[in-house]
Structure formats: C-alpha cells, structure tokens
Amino acid sequence: MLPVSSALSIFIFFSLAFLLGCISQEEGESEDNPHRIAAFIAQQNAEGKVANRLINEKSPYLLQHAFNPVEWYPWGDEAFKAARETGRPIFLSIGYATCHWCHVMEHESFENDSIAAYLNDHFIPIKVDREERPEVDAVYMAATQAMTGSGGWPMSVFLTPELKPFYCGTYFPPKSSYGRPGFGELLQGIVRVWQEDRIKILQSADQITQALQLSESEFAEGTLNVDLLNSSFNHFQQMYDVNFGGFGHAPKFPRPVIFNFLFRYAEHSDEKQARQMAMVTLRKMAEGGMHDHLGGGFHRYAVDEQWRVSHFEKMLYDQAQLAVSYLEAYQISGSEYFAEVARGIFDYVLRDMTDPLGGFYSAEDADSPVPENPSQKAEGAFYLWEKNEIEELLGKDSGKLFCEIYGISSKGNTIADPHGEFGTKNVLYLAKQLPTDKPTIAKLESGRARLLAARAKRPRPLLDDKVITSWNGLMISAFARGFLVLQDVRYLNAANKAALYLKNHHMMQDGVTLLRRSRAGEAGLTAHLEDYAFFVLGLIDLYEASFNIEWLQLAVALTERMIELFSDERGGFFDTSGQDKNILVKLKDIYDGAEPSGNSIAILNLLRLAAMTGREEWRTLGEKALKLISPRAAQSPGAFPQFMVAMDFNLSKAKQIVLAAHSPADQKLEEMRAIIGRKFIGSRVLLFADSKEGQAYLGKNQEFIRMMEPQNGQTTAFVCENYVCNAPTNEIEELKQQLTATSPK
C-alpha cells in the first residue's frame, strides 16, 4: 500500500501519542492427526476449558483462540452491532495460524485473566485470520503502515464502532519494557482517551480513513517501454548481496517474483548478471538452513544474511513459487541440482500438504512441541538436531561424514538465535560441497532417509489445513509446470485433482463465482481478485500440461467473471467487488511481495489468454492496466517484479507454439511437448490443435489455428510469433532449432 501523506501521518501519530503517553512500536512478524487443530480442541475440552464464540469458526487460527478468556467475536455483524450499542471501541487483532509472535502475544496477554477481563469490560474484541479475510487485513495494514511506518503480525488495531482506525500497532508485550508500552497499560490509555477526548479520536479516525481513500484515487496513466524493465533490474543489481546472494540485508526473504523477473530480463536483454544473481541466490538458499534438507520444501525466511537459520514456518505459497523458480533455473542451466530441489518441494507438498480430496493445505507452524518435553513448545524444535542424536542414528562413520557435510557441531551451529532457544542444537545446511562419487552420495542419501524417519516420530508442528483458492492456484500452476519440465506424471495428476477440487468445492452454483476457502467439509467466504487471478494462472498452465480444453475454457469463464466483479474503468482491478459495505476502502493491490499481486497475475493472464484465444479486447485491457500502474512502478522499481514480468510479456514477441495431432495420447505429441517443456521461453503460449472441439474453440478468433493440421499423418509443430509461423515440422531436431531461433524464418 502507498502510505498516506507524511504530514497527515505524522500529525495523527503524534497527536495520539501525546494523548496516550508517547507510545512506540515494535514491528511484529513480517506473516484425528495430533498436529491438526482438532487435537488441540479435544485437549482443551478434556481440561474443562470454556470456549468462546470462535469455537464455531472454521479457521485454525481462530480456533486456536477459542479457549482464551478474551470474549472474542469473529468479524461480522454481531460484533459491529455490539460496538454500536455499547459505544465501546473495537480492539481488532489480526494474525494467522503459523505466526510465531501471534502465539507469543496470545500466551502473554490473551491468556492473561486480568488483561482479558479489562479487554472484555471496555472493548469489543474481534479476531481475524488474515488468510481468510485478506480484504480486512489489507485495509488495516495500510492504516498501520501509514501511522507507524511499519507493519506486521499480530496486527493490533483500535477502531471506532464505525470500523475506522484510530490507533495501530503490532506486537505488544504484557508489561512495559524497552520503551514500549505494556498491552495492559495501552488498553487503559485507550479507554482514558476514549472517555475524555472522544471527539479528537473520532476526528483522527475520519482523517485516517479519508487519507486511505484518497491514496487509492491517485493513479495517473503512464507509458510502456523497456526503461521500466531496466530501472527494475538496476534496483535489484544495487540491492544484490555479492557474498551470499539475495537482495538486501537480514532478515532475508526469498521473494520468488524477483527470480521470475530476472530470468526474463536476462533472456530478452542478454544481461548475464541478471541470470547470475538469480542462480546464485537460488543455490545459496538451497544450500542453507532455510531449505529442509530432509523433508523438502522451504521455510518462510532466514534471520541471518547467510541463509543459515530460518524462521521455521512453511507456507504453501512459498512452496509453489519456489518450485517454479527452481524449475526455471533447471531449464536455463541444465543443472540437475536445481531439478532435485524442485522435486523435493513437490515431494513435501504431496506427502504433508495434500488433502485426500486433492486440495492443498495452507501452512505448517514454526513452533512445535519439544521432543523431550512435549508440553513445551519452541521454534524449530521439529527440525533441529543435537550432534549426538545424528551420530547415534547413523553410526560412527556415516555420522561423521554427515556432520562434516551438513555443518553439525557439538556446540550447535545456529549463528543467529532470535529467541534464545537453540543452544547446542543444529540446523542442517551444506557446509561443504556435496560429493560426486556414487558411494558417498548413497551414504548421504541413506543418512537423510534415516534422519527423516526418525524426525517423523517427533511431534509435528501445527498444520493449518484450510484450503485457500489463491494459494491452490499457485500450487496447481507449479505442479503443471513441474510435469512439463520433469515429465513426472504424479505432478500432472496432483494438478488435475486439485483443480477438480476447487471446481467442485470452491465454486458457487453459477459455475463462475468462486469461494475463498474450505475446511472440514465446508466452503465459504467471498473470493477476491487474487483467488480468481491465481486460479486462472493454474488453469492456463494446467491446460498447457494436459491439453484438456476444459481447463482453458474454465480459465476464460473465470476471467470474464473476474472482469465483471473487480475491473476498474480507469484500468486494473480492485481487490474486492465493493459489495461489502463494512470494508472502508476499495483497495487495489499492485505491489509484489511474498506473493505476486492480484493485478500482476491478472494482467499476465489477460495477455496470455489473448495470445491463446485471439481475444484482442483482453490484450487491450491488460495494456490499459499496465499503463495505469506503470507510474507507480517507476517510482518504486523494486516493488513490482511480477508486474515487470507482465510488462516484459507485453513488450516482447510472445511465441505461439501449436502442436497438431489427432490424439492427445500420441507418442510424438508427448515427445514434442516434453522438448518444449524443458526449454525456458519466458514469453510463450502452448496450444493443441486436436482436429476436434478444442481446435474449434481455439480457432474462433484465430483463423490460422483453424487451418493447422497434422502433416503427413504425424504430429506437427507450428512455432509462430505475432501470427507469423515457421514452416511446420514433424522433426524433433527441427523443433529444437525453431524454439531457439529469435523469430520465424
């Protein structure tokens, strides 16, 4: 979000700080089976604890708070009515199930009987899962960033009964320390001001809300040219850590959208450093402790500059995006190492994050029970090792080798210990280059398998088992592309099954209106721009992997519905439809962070679908959005890497590759698709002319596709750019040459 004007921000912050007694902020976190939430609820019931209103919710995060003495409300009319009728301010607490500092604040304050009693007597407390309700999170995060200059979770926001924010923060300790107010004291200060200076509070709340609304209207159309791409590359070049990879200082976040941009920029500019920065960073990440060397997948971020020590939660959106990054690194470099990292991510998701019905779960927690003392939780407890544990499990010789390769020490190897919990424990990271001789490789593989089996006996971190449409769309895209690149049919099956799950369980009866999430047999909540955009992304990639025309048709139908619900006549898309009047500001998400923005993906989808179906009005719509957002991108070139991918697609000559065959099971068709899949082409679409309904659908607006058919009775490839095609070919080697050529001959 763009902050409100600095003058207004400073006025609001300091006027309230004066009234409350100069409050400073500390940034919070920058986001059956015994590790399911059902086990937690059963345990609380067994202990005779009394549940609050949240017990009827589906969100694991809200259910974690269902036994707090705080009388929480979920976000909704009941809470809003209570605030209006009592005249009390609202305390809005926003977080998510795998958030470490959310757990800390819960334990310190929300489980504190005296703090809870005061909160219940003087406020209407509301809990929100930011992953279920991103529209609520986005509005109040914008206010928090504007008022404090930073943001994070847990987010702690005080609202008027009309839902307007007047004081914002993140994590508060229970008692004042290090110049920060204690949460109990803060509550008392808020109550005092609410009782004595309510008019000033209401005026400030109005000003904040007006400023947020104003910031969303400040868009001006720009131009589309390669200068924006160059500016973005220059930004990342300046931010690049030449010693350890990554961009900026610790803590280090992966931001896969940066790799997406750098690979495409390198392809079209021949700027070798762009490719090198991405490759080195991906390798350093994979070698470090942020990578789970036993179970596959990646943790959220590294707390140190060397990628050594993680914040140990695992998020589905990270797995999906990083899988694609490592696939593309493999396509470009041919290094099997990158392919193995991608396979490890897929194995992890299939093993630990996949619902039996096909959907993908959201996350695993950073905290988990300490194996030797399960009643106590600690961050990373599931993943860390004492040296003697490894030696006992692997034996003297294998244990010594393993400890040398993975940097294991009897003193511990965690060079950063944010919470003072790690002690002599070790995180696995590659301290030495992996050996290449087969006996040593086999010994290390055996060691990893034995440690993984031993780790599986430990108590696991909490699993957030809700299925979110947007994140599932990203994972469907990753599995579909994984099949194209690595030719493992398990990946195609997983993508198909997940897409069917969303189609059958996350779709309303009209067949084009999506729901946001499902859990425990119930789907609900209004879907947002990112849900439509990310699911369409997955469907486009799934069509290219399967050649099932129904997936492309669904992508088109959902895109039409997305335009109907979210399109802004000035250009681009709003996050929400505006139908919920309890959302103060109709925001437009344009910044690419840990996830790509809904606009960046929606624009790229429009451009790809225009190239696939001949819907030129969608190309025009995509270009209009690019022009509207481009001035913001020029101001902050590092905040728009996925937007730059869409810009690059629009500026470059996208290849249209059409394979013509009479059967989707034709062996040469599969061979040609595999050749195309192994080749990195940043701007291309892949189509199947089947001489049947699929080709008729593709050819509605594209006469040249209607004319394509297998030559000499064999599968034939047509490689085109801007509707100009090379000579059709049945030959694999000729296809390879045409894919490498810069333009049709």
What does the mean pLDDT of the chain come to? 93
Q: Residue 490's pLDDT is what?
A: 99
Return the minimum-mean-pLDDT range out of 100-104, 114-118, 445-449.
100-104
Q: What's the longest Cα–Cα distance across the chain?
A: 87
The domain that holds 105 is classified in CATH as 3.40.30.10
Q: What pLDDT band is residue 178 in, cutting at 50, 70 and 90?
A: low
Q: Residue 744's pLDDT is what?
A: 56
The tokens for 452 are: 């993984």
Cα separation, 564 vs 642, in Å, equals 23
Q: What pLDDT band is residue 43 in, cutting at 50, 70 and 90?
A: confident
Q: What is the pLDDT of residues 589-610, one digit of tens each?
A: 999 999 999 999 999 999 999 9
The residue behind tokens 């034709």 is 666
pLDDT value at 177 more than 90: no
Q: Which of 167, 200, 215 is the last residue of a domain?
A: 215
Query: Cα separations (Å) of 250 from 165, 245, 247?
Result: 31, 11, 9
Helix ranges restricted to H, 636-729: 641-651, 667-678, 693-698, 703-706
For residue 559, tell me if it sits in a domain.
Answer: no
Q: Residue 742's pLDDT is what?
A: 63
Cα separation, 310 vs 414, in Å, equals 9
Cis before 154? omega within 30: yes
pLDDT value at 35 more than 80: no
For residue 378, tell me if it sits in a domain.
Answer: yes
Q: What pLDDT band is residue 196 in, cutting at 50, 70 and 90?
A: very high
Q: What pLDDT band is residue 218 in, cutting at 50, 70 and 90?
A: confident
For residue 384, tell me if it sits in a domain.
Answer: yes
Query: Is 193 found in the same domain as 314?
Result: no
pLDDT value at 33 more than 60: no
Query: Is 258 found in the same domain as 199?
Result: no
pLDDT value at 515 more than 60: yes
Query: Is 317 found in the same domain as 209?
Result: no
| Eight-class DSSP state of 686 | E
Cα separation, 306 vs 291, in Å, equals 12
Query: Is 122 found in the same domain as 258?
Result: no
Query: Is 164 found in the same domain as 307?
Result: no
Q: Which of 444, 464, 484 is the last residue of a domain?
A: 464
Query: Is 278 found in the same domain as 200?
Result: no
The tokens for 581 are: 């009047």
Query: Is 104 found in the same domain as 47?
Result: yes
Q: Produce one character per residue of 681-702: b if its CB has 16 or more CB atoms within 10 Å, e if not.
A: bbbbbbbbbbeeebbebbbeeb
For residue 335, tell me if it sits in a domain.
Answer: yes
Q: How many folded domains does the chain comprise?
A: 3
* pTM of the shown model: 0.94
Q: What is the pLDDT of residues 266-282, one digit of tens each?
A: 998 978 999 999 999 99
Cα separation, 565 vs 554, in Å, equals 16
For residue 210, tell me if it sits in a domain.
Answer: yes
pLDDT value at 14 more than 60: no
Q: What is the pLDDT of residues 281-318, one digit of tens each?
A: 999 999 999 999 999 999 999 999 999 999 999 999 99
Q: Residue 653's pLDDT is what?
A: 84
Question: Mean of the pLDDT values across residues 485-491?
Answer: 99
pLDDT value at 483 more than 70: yes
pLDDT value at 260 more than 80: yes
Which of 108, 104, 102 lies closest to 129, judged by CA?
102
Helix ranges restricted to H, 270-380: 272-287, 316-333, 336-352
pLDDT value at 699 more than 90: yes
Helix, strand, or coil here: 158?
strand
For residue 597, tell me if it sits in a domain.
Answer: no
Query: Is 268 found in the same domain as 206?
Result: no
Q: Residue 82's pLDDT is what?
A: 98
Query: Is 433 found in the same domain as 340?
Result: yes
The tokens for 225 are: 């040219």
Query: Is 255 found in the same domain as 189?
Result: no
Q: Residue 420's pLDDT is what?
A: 80
Beta bridge partners of 370: 373
Q: Which helix (H) or strand (E) holds 580?
A: none
Query: Is 258 found in the same domain as 203?
Result: no
In the chain, the percentage of residues whose pLDDT exceeds 90 is 85
Cα separation, 359 vs 363, in Å, equals 13
For residue 180, tell me if it sits in a domain.
Answer: yes
For residue 133, tell me if it sits in a domain.
Answer: yes
**What range defines the domain where residue 164 resides?**
6-215
With beta carbons less than 8 A apart as the criterion, state whether 524 and 516 touch: yes
Which residue has better confidence, 23 or 49? 49
Query: Is 439 found in the same domain as 301?
Result: yes
